[in-house]
Structure 1
Amino acid sequence: MKVLISKSVFGVTGSAQCSQDSIRYLINNNHSLTVISLEGNNGFSFETKQNDLLNKLKWFIFYKSSTINNNISFLKKLYWKLKFPIVRYFNKRKINKLNIRHLIVNSTGSLDLLNEISFKGAKYFRKTLVVHESPDITKFKEVKKNKEYYSQQFSFFSDYIFVSKIVRDKWINFINLDRDKTHYIPNTIREDLTKNLLTKNIFDLKKECSLSMESKTILCIGSIQYLKGQDLLIEASKKLWNSGDYNFDLVLIGDVYESFGLKIMNMINQLKIDYPIKYKKPVSPFMALKYIASADIIVLPSRTEALPRVILEGMALKKPIIASDVGGVSELIENNIQGLVFNAEDVNKLSNCMKALLDDGQFIKNLSEKAHEKYWNFYSRKIYNKNWSNFLDRFD
């Protein structure tokens, strides 16, 4: 039996969607699979329910207190607060009775859940960590975990899957990983959805997403937090708006995280009086794809990334992309070939990249076509499935 641990399976984050991708591969290829997560399975996509895939899975849900609905009565809240620790206790006992052959942990963000379970007999089964993060995250005060923490956590595993070659090399150098224990499986996307969206009229999509028909839309999708760099994009946009030469809407979509997220929200509320800037609450993965399909330019101004799924989605949807040169971004985009790349934190360069795409429609078309071609040559689901098959064949 294979067991997959993922902090989030049904959320809108890239990591959660990557978890769904690996689940789809495993159950579609008849692997016996148990999923351990912090959330219930009611959020899984309709497409998956329709194919009856959920019935092939065994679930252990480690509910969080934050999942309690604030609108319920005091007694019901008390009931759930008392029930959660009991559920977690019995889940751990049941999990340790499973006949596990291969444990797969999706992302370093799931390590705390792994530690809570405290597997018995772990030396008798294979343990794989799928790494969706760059070690560069430890450079930021917003991330509380350091080199010593990751060295200790990584030592539990037999091998590692990295979604980016560049990020793999960073981790090898950062904590002295054995390269022979590492494997490369880049992310993929929901091609069934993107293919359908490519057949739609962009003005119909803009209408569905309530985006402007008169001006271009620059879109940034990602949680509103310091590591994602929305402050840099806002500053670059202000430069162009203040020049008086450019007319575009800036749309930000994502969960608001901690004090930085609140700071950005306050900034947006002040700026939207004079500037065409909009914030939209997190949307479903399918709706996020609709926004990408209806936007004119996609920008990812992150301070750290591994292999951003939103860039892959933009490539598949033939959208011009601007991204900071962090993590594995340069694997996806060669500057001036599949998109435009700027040095992280360089607001002036970001502003110039935006100018270049707002000014030149033919340049946009060339970049978009090259990006689309590269997606299908290197990151398609067919290639993703083959990579997983090759990886599992080595051990099964």
Structure 2
Amino acid sequence: MKVLQIIDSLEAGGAERMAVNITNALSLQDNVNSYLCATRKEGMLKTSLNDTVGYLCLNKRSTLDIAATKRLYQFIKNNNIEILHAHSTSFFIVTLIKLFKPNVKIVWHDHYGNSQFLEQRKSKILHVCSKYFSHVICVTDSLKDWAMTHLKTVKVAYVPNFVVKDSVKPSTILKGVDGKRVLHLANLRSQKDHFTLIKAFNEVIKESPDYTLHCVGKDFENDYSAQVFKYVEALQLNTHVFFYGSKEDISNILSQSDICVLSSKSEGLPIALLEYGLAGKPTIVTDVGNCAEVIENNVNGLVVPKEHPKALAEGMLQIIGNTDKAREYGRLLKHTVEENYSQDVFIKKLTTIYNAILNE
């Protein structure tokens, strides 16, 4: 079996991490040749690819870049690739390939993060392309329901994300006091709702002034991130809230953190949440996407309403005030992630889908 994962870039995002993790996991299977193509640009995740993975970067300059499409076609032809596993917006270029190479099979992986706002999703081109897909994989139940009603693909499956521990050399040193660090692992995007997080943390330090908040994720240097930084300054939190940008050594960062949080107003199934769980950290999430599928409130973590700073602050203070309970949350969340969101569980489901479409 020869499979090519296709993703826009290798920047540090959830869909990108999944594409790399799937590529690496497949490369360890005895009966699979695994490849990955970054269509637009590379990124820090390139260094995470296994040495046995076949790799191509197209440096595509526009949506309809004929030269890049030809290079991809030739790569697929030269390697006798049978399955094109396209992630997110990469569905368009693989559909073009399908028109000229009808025997290839397309699997489209929907990582859409704004799952709370699916009614606003623009999908005309996706709807047209979907008739060429053999299978659609969705990271949440709501995305599966949407695909079944909006796309032409007959076979649609919900397959939860999985997580693996990275082996990147430690390089990041978090500021603040040991034992009193809160981690927020998310790119600086509006759906991640840093404003609710910062407002909540401002209440936390009124009762626990030694705690610090550490935000790890890509700064796109746009209006949103500028407003976030301005808000931190306005609340005079510069000595309590720190930003690190994109980082590769996530496991190392998690080892220095004591409480983990996601304050999103919309999500699919965030990789960050699974990374928190794998590290056994007490975690608070907002009730969006499939977060509540992973965390059962007051059992293996805390689930609070989205865009509710008071509830988020109370959740953090609850964990700060009860170390035994916090430790139990982390232990049970780690068990949940290892049992239900492991690489082995995911790859077994994925290869079943691959084999089915190859035998059609």
Interval containing the TM-score (normalised by the shorter chain): 0.7 to 0.9
Rounded Cα–Cα distance in structure 2 between residues aligned with 1:46 and 1:256: 21
Pairwise CA distance, 1:87: 5.6
Which has the larger share of helix? 1
Rounded Cα–Cα distance in structure 2 between residues aligned with 1:214 and 1:192: 22
Contact 2:174 2:256 in 1 (8 A): no
Q: Secondary structure at the match of 1:45?
A: helix
Tell me the residue number matched to 1:88.
Answer: 68
Structure (1 or 2) with the larger CA radius of gyration = 1
Tell me the residue number matched to 2:198.
Answer: 234
Pairwise CA distance, 1:225: 1.2
Q: Pick from 141, 157, 168: which aligns with 1:183?
A: 157
Pairwise CA distance, 1:126: 1.9
TM-score normalised over the length of structure 1: 0.78
Q: Pick from 154, 158, 162: which aligns with 2:134?
A: 158
Rounded Cα–Cα distance in structure 1 between residues aligned with 2:161 and 2:86: 15
Contact 2:83 2:106 in 1 (8 A): yes
Cα gap change, 1:46 to 1:327, in 2 (>3 Å): closer
Contact 2:187 2:217 in 1 (8 A): yes
Q: Which ranges of structure 1 fall in alignment gaps of 5 or more residues?
A: 67-84, 198-204
Cα gap change, 1:297 to 1:113, in 2 (>3 Å): farther
Deviates more, 1:315-324 or 1:162-171: 162-171
Rounded Cα–Cα distance in structure 1 between residues aligned with 2:143 and 2:183: 26
RMSD of equivalent CA atoms: 3.2
Q: Secondary structure at the match of 2:357?
A: coil
Q: Pick from 302, 319, 327: which aligns with 1:365?
A: 327
Aligned length: 351
TM-score normalised over the length of structure 2: 0.85
Contact 1:227 1:304 in 2 (8 A): yes
Deviates more, 1:91-100 or 1:119-128: 91-100
Deviates more, 1:314-323 or 1:381-390: 381-390
Rounded Cα–Cα distance in structure 2 between residues aligned with 1:42 and 1:11: 6
Q: Pick from 301, 306, 320: which aligns with 2:282?
A: 320
Q: Pick from 97, 108, 115: which aligns with 1:129?
A: 108
Tell me the residue number matched to 2:173.
Answer: 209
Deviates more, 1:315-324 or 1:118-127: 118-127
Q: Secondary structure at the match of 1:44?
A: helix
Tell me the residue number matched to 1:249.
Answer: 212
Rounded Cα–Cα distance in structure 1 between residues aligned with 2:235 and 2:115: 31
Matched, 1:2 2:3: yes
Rounded Cα–Cα distance in structure 1 between residues aligned with 2:174 and 2:81: 48
Contact 1:60 1:91 in 2 (8 A): no
Matched, 1:277 2:278: no
Contact 1:18 1:187 in 2 (8 A): yes
Q: Deviations over 1:158-212 (max 9, x none)?
A: 2111233344234435x2666x611233222224649xx9xxxxxxx9x962332
Rounded Cα–Cα distance in structure 2 between residues aligned with 1:21 and 1:304: 23
Pairwise CA distance, 1:282: 1.2
Q: Which ranges of structure 2 fall in alignment gaps of 5 or more residues?
A: none
Matched, 1:308 2:270: yes
